[in-house]
Structure 1
Amino acid sequence: MTFPRFLGTLPILLALLPATSASPVLIPPRPYLHSVLNWNTTFQNSSLLLPSSHANATFTCGSRSDTPIYTLGDVDDGGPGVTMRDADYSNTHQNHYYFLYENARDEIPWKYTLLHPGETVFISVCPTFSGRIVRGRLDENLDGTARHNLGTWIEVAWEAQDNTTASNSSTRSWGDVSLLEGCDGGAVMLATDGSGVVTGFSRNILREAPEGALARKANGSLVLGKTVGSEANEEAMRWELKVLDPLREAFIVEDVKPVIVTENGRWDLTFYAGIY
């Protein structure tokens, strides 16, 4: 993507946004576009822009033969990882499972955890983790297939300085809240390096979404459809651009990427009302 292409897209997006919009989360003014312009390598099946050193990286946290790691919280030794909070008080009748997928392994999660409303856990990652964190269900996400992409993705990637080893990795991590593959609820990610940088949204945008914007998960649950690819749902995209700010709150269209960075390799994530 080139800078002129982005400038050509921005006026169209701004025209679709409402004249006034109250953001559900406090997002301090900070230029996010540096991440759009400086990083231009994309992983397969991922919308997150990554440093070019990731393009040929072979180091992963697990292999396809590994059994997914179930954790109710890892030991926090000060290394890279995410603090995950469940703020979904709307679905107390079902379990809230969250899955960490590596980009190189779409068929099987690397780790997963169970949270109840109000609970918080720390999940450690290997120093070169690159992937996504999503809502899900045991009977679907552990079935060994890559058919469960529909929904909100929290995308995170740790900047590898060396393509083959974890020991030479950087502490810097990049992230975004992506709706390109659909939306099954709100999520907010906060950098914990003291910068106060945050992206995401807490608003339940599924509640009032038009019928034409909806798509079904494998279990039949209705969520907002994906906005990219051959099955892109244009009505879902229009609705999301109406209720969210694509420059700060969510990754909705491919040409505008509200990617943020944390310099210490650690994130604070909060999941709001959603569909599992």
Structure 2
Amino acid sequence: MTGAHEAEGRPLHSAPDGGAKPPRHHARRSLAWRIGTPTVVLLSGALFAVSAADSGGTDLRPGRYTDLASLAEAEADDVKQLQARARDLEQDIDRMSENVRSFRVRTTRHEVERLHDPAGLTPRTGPGLSITLSDAPDDLFEDARDAGASGDVLRRYVVHQQDIQAVVNSLWRAGAEAVVIEGQRVVSTTGIKCEGNAVQLQGVPYPEPYDIEAVGDPTALLSALDSDPIVAGYRADAADPEIAIGWDVETEQQVEAPAFEGLVDIRYAEPLR
């Protein structure tokens, strides 16, 4: 019977006193719980501490916006806060600037104010010249084209940017205090460019005729126009009845030159060394 019993079940290990031993895995499980439980608690506490430090008191996983209106409202609030912050900073800068009393700062400010006028940032009035450039009459241009005139000849019937630039440069050389083209004050950064059948000034296209005004000594200005070779060639075409490109000069007792109102910053140019 003993042999049959051992064949049907697992044999029991005998203890020294002849009794059965309890299973060993129960002891190992108790030891794992005693060690593992404090370890998990410590790790959880460390994670909570790290999360609190990273969040800075905010939610690390904020709720999602449920609609576009909520998102727009939140973004608008952020913008208002940033704008308010910017205004505060500007006020701080103004207060700090007012408190600056150094000799160097005062000298620099006076120099900037002195340069406003020659830079074209203040209006000027006085005697000067009024000049008008215009294309040749259409019938003369068409007659020349029908007669088979070359492209170089046909270009003489139209006002180009170099014609305007030649007039303006000669006025500057004569000591003009201010120059205006189509009502815009000319400064050192003013660009004149041909664009199709118009001329662009500061990026704005203007059709002919082109009105140029200058404040300065009329006698000196006229003398400069007479001596400029490019202007002389233009005036020769104006005097030619077969071309008759437009040229008109008037002496003015009062020319008004408004202050330049465009951008004066040079963002991409670098000084020559």
TM-score category of the 2 structures, normalised to the smaller one = under 0.3
Q: Is the radius of gyration larger for structure 1 or structure 2?
A: 2
Q: Which has the higher helix share?
A: 2
Q: Which has the higher strand share?
A: 1
